[in-house]
Amino acid sequence: MLKTAAFIPAMAIAGFVLMAQTLVAEQPLNIVYMLSDNQSYYEMSCHGHAQIQTPHIDRFAKQSVEFTHFYAPPYCSPSRAVILTGRYAMRSGVFTTVAGRSIMHRDQTTLADVLQKHGYRTGIFGKWHLGFSYPHRPKDRGFDEVFVHGGGGVGQMEDFYGNTHYDTTFIHNDQVTPGKGFSTDILFDHAMEFVEANRDRPFFCYVPTPVTHSPHNGPKDLVAELQAAGVTGDLGLFAQVQNLDSNIGRMLDKLEALDLAKNTVVIYASDQGMNDRGAPHGANRLGIPYDPAQHVPFFIRVPGAKPHVTERLAGMIDFFPTMLDLCGISPPANCDGISLKPLIFGKPDEYPTDRTLIIQCPRGRTASKWKNASVKTDRWRLVDGEKLFDIHADPRQSTDIAAEHPNVVKQLREKYETYWASFPGQTTTLSRHSLGAKECPEVVLNGMDWYEGSTPWAGSHFNKPGNGKWAVRIEQDGRYEFECRHYPREADKAMGMNRAKIQVGNVVLEQDIDAEAKLTRFELDLEAGDYDLQTWLYSGEKSSGALFVYVSTN
């Protein structure tokens, strides 16, 4: 593994550390967290990619503590839930990326919540993917400034209709805001404005980019440059990474220009492993519970910490308690992660020698014991409770040696049993959309959040029939209006249906509609409580559910 820190002049490091230590004692630390989406550990030049050039990431790596054995849940929403709560994703009700199981439970405390209460200004710029209805939106989860796209990727069903990475439309503090240029550039522009606006107070700037999630539409001029240079492969992906690298450089330069670098913790990471895509040894598509799907890059630059490389086991679940520890704030007692501060400040003896990391991602609406589960130690990997691998001898996990080490299997299974026993009832609890709350007069529901039935998510699914149920909570007795559409409002397109039906609990209404209609409205008198909500749009005898329902109270 490339030990990037070795190239930094010792005198420069000593000067930076001494200056930073003095400043840390005088004022709170800021946090800038740049998180790429679906970027492989190997998709940067400092990790050996043969075609992608990332000079700014490489420079940052030399200034940072690099964790070479860092792991995250292998899908977007679970990884983000872990990042923001420091708890196993299933505790938050987050099992996958759609199907009503990408919405973080309302009772979870986020890093933004805690920092906000301690006087921090908090901002998110990019991808949220943990629920877009009240009370699950970023603004409901501790973020003061919100500049995000919808869904799990630009152009998905929950995103602004017709969105692409060019001139992307974002939601800025509840307002639809068209952008000009490439999506990543727009996000970093706003993130840097946030940093500058809050330079005189502590801030948490979270920049979870939508790249390198598909579609791999990189900046066209950069794609053309790569093509002209004779680069072959997924040029759209490569251009996305190199554009991201340029923006990371812009952010680092901005912090220097504002004299904030000496008092700001800066992190760059990716949210999942992408099966070692782009690795010199080739991709490793072993499956969800194996390391290649979970191994992520993680670089952290902390004032007062000398740049170095650590090979100790750590994970995304440790981000939340680590940030609070660095900021002098006690983490909540219910954290599943631990602080990485000892490793960051070169005190490995203060870090647990028997650290065990458990990652489980059901990738479905329900969880079952051992499904897609990995139990990790510095040396061992137990996969699905049955297969054992010695990572020191077999880093590609090609040879199962469980039969040769029954005691190791037994010990790791016991660790998992303790973990699984800590989820009483938490694997079945749903995150409900709150309707009728005074804090949010109108709620938008979309088919990506059907907790039962079909699982639409992409724009192409507008042409696929399907239906499902939303889990909703009626907050107060009253009359509710349901505006049902096949396309979102901004599409302004006819549904081509002739009849519609709605059911909330035991309340059912049905009515005819004109084939040219873009919507149909129902008014229902409902009592407070928890219900299933389902709709039907009919074309003759065929039907599908309304993919968008706008709910308000009269």
- Domains of the chain by residue range: 4-348, 358-421, 433-553
b or e along 414-451 (b: 16 or more beta carbons within 10 Å of the residue's beta carbon)?
A: ebbeebbeebeeebeebbbbbbbeeebeebbbbbbbbb
DSSP 182: B
- The Cα-based distances of 154 to 148, 215, 229, 354, 509 in angstroms read 10, 8, 28, 41, 35
For the chain, give percent helix, strand, coil, nearest 5.
30, 25, 45
pLDDT recorded at residue 26: 63
State the CB neighbour count (10 A cutoff) for residue 357: 24
Q: How far apart are CA 20 and CA 27, in angstroms?
A: 11
Q: How far apart are CA 462 and CA 161, in angstroms?
A: 11
Contact of 417 with 430, CB cutoff 8 Å: no
Query: Which residue bears the tokens 């919507």?
Result: 519
Which tokens belong to 426? 């938490």
| Contacts of 372 by beta carbon, 8 Å cutoff, 6+ apart | 287, 288, 289, 360, 361, 362, 363, 384
Helix (H) or strand (E) holding 552: strand 548-553
Nearest to 381 by CA among 370, 391, 393: 391
The beta strand positions in 351-432, using DSSP E, are 357-360, 373-376, 380-383, 387-390
pLDDT recorded at residue 285: 87
- The Cα-based distances of 540 to 66, 191, 496, 498 in angstroms read 60, 50, 10, 7
The beta strand positions in 56-202, using DSSP E, are 65-67, 70-71, 121-127, 145-149, 169-172, 175-178
Which tokens belong to 104? 């973080």
pLDDT recorded at residue 426: 75
pLDDT digit of tens for each residue in the chain (554 aa)? Answer: 333 333 334 434 444 444 444 444 468 999 999 999 999 999 999 999 999 999 999 999 999 999 999 999 999 999 999 999 999 999 999 999 999 999 999 999 999 999 999 999 999 999 999 999 999 999 999 999 999 999 999 999 999 999 999 999 999 999 999 999 999 999 999 999 999 999 999 999 999 999 999 999 999 999 999 999 999 999 999 999 999 999 999 999 999 999 999 999 999 999 999 999 999 999 988 999 999 999 999 999 999 999 999 999 999 999 999 999 999 999 999 999 999 999 999 999 999 999 999 999 999 999 999 999 999 999 999 999 999 999 999 999 999 999 999 999 999 999 999 999 999 877 888 999 999 999 999 999 999 999 999 999 998 899 998 999 999 999 999 999 999 999 999 999 999 999 999 999 999 999 999 999 999 999 999 999 999 999 999 999 899 999 999 999 97
pLDDT recorded at residue 3: 37
Nearest to 274 by CA among 127, 74, 81: 74
pLDDT recorded at residue 5: 37
Nearest to 214 by CA among 52, 454, 451, 457: 457
Any idea what the Cα angle at residue 471 is, between residues 367 and 366, rounded to 5°? 10
Quickly name the fold that domain 433-553 has. Answer: Jelly Rolls (2.60.120)
Helix (H) or strand (E) holding 265: strand 264-270
Long-range contacts of 325-330 (CB under 8 A, 24+ apart): 326/29, 326/265, 326/302, 327/28, 327/29, 327/31, 327/115, 327/118, 327/202, 328/28, 329/114, 329/115, 329/118
Helix (H) or strand (E) holding 48: none
pTM here is 0.94
Secondary structure (H, E, C), 458-519: EHHHHHCCCCEEEEEEECCCEEEEEEEECCCHHHCCCCCCCEEEEEECCEEEEEECCCCCCC
- Which residues make beta-bridge pairs with 553? 480
In the CATH hierarchy, which top-level class contains the domain 4-348? alpha beta
- The Cα-based distances of 481 to 435, 440, 445, 549 in angstroms read 10, 14, 13, 10
Query: Which residue bears the tokens 């973990």?
Result: 419
State the CB neighbour count (10 A cutoff) for residue 12: 11
Q: How far apart are CA 430 and CA 446, in angstroms?
A: 16
pLDDT recorded at residue 363: 94
pLDDT recorded at residue 18: 45
In the CATH hierarchy, which top-level class contains the domain 358-421? alpha beta
pLDDT recorded at residue 425: 78
Burial (CB count within 10 angstroms: exposed 0-12, middle 13-18, buried 19+), residue 520: buried
Which tokens belong to 499? 């009849």
DSSP 293: G
DSSP 527: -
Which tokens belong to 49? 């990619």
